Structure 1
Amino acid sequence: MSNYIEKKEINEEDVKYALDILSGKWKLKIMIEIWKNESIRFNQLEKNVDGISSLMLTRCLRELVEYKIIERKQFNEIPPHVEYSLTKLGKSICPIIHSLEEWGNKVKSEINKK
């Protein structure tokens, strides 16, 4: 029995669209950090995503909000603050991220075999 998924017609444009949303050095790291924390403030994200600048974090967050992967919630209290969380659409990628983690681990193990 094969471990491979049955071959089927693949819409390469849809795959490319999904990869474009996730592409870049930071977006996946940001999404994983939000996923781990459920809801997180900008400053905490900036601390947790090692090496990212405020400008780049802002740009990536705006793109992810635009794609409806994350939501930005503003709290008008004292002091005012903003929190980011995954949307239902954003949460739908979590199993895929987990599968990528497993696949990456498998590939790494195969490459490192002697």
Structure 2
Amino acid sequence: MSRIPVILAAALTVAMGLTVRGLWDGPVPKYAGDALYTVLIYTLVVVALPRIRPIVAASVAAGVSWVVEFAQLWEIPEVLRPVLGSTFNVPDLLWYVVGAGCAWAAHTLWLKRHPTP
């Protein structure tokens, strides 16, 4: 898979996260942000490994998100909190899976419509 569409997807993911944060308050931007965080990780995995299978990329993205979430049970250094967060929250684990599932579905659909030789 070409890296250009994946890099564009990563940029779109960041823009969506900033837009959601700018438009709403409360749980909507928080949980949308969790899902989009995992989508961004997914895109970074695919940029690094363009031939990765979607299910593997989804598993890695969800796994990394879960590791970061569980790391919040311990003290996260202040400088890393904007990226890694600071408070463990069980519902976040579900939203990471939702984000990985959405990225998997989009990637799978893309590959079906744009097969590589």
TM-score (norm 1): 0.35
Structure with a larger share of its residues in strand: 1
Q: Which has the higher helix share?
A: 2
Q: Of the two structures, which has the highest relative contact order with CA contacts closer than 8 Å and spacing of 6 or more?
A: 2
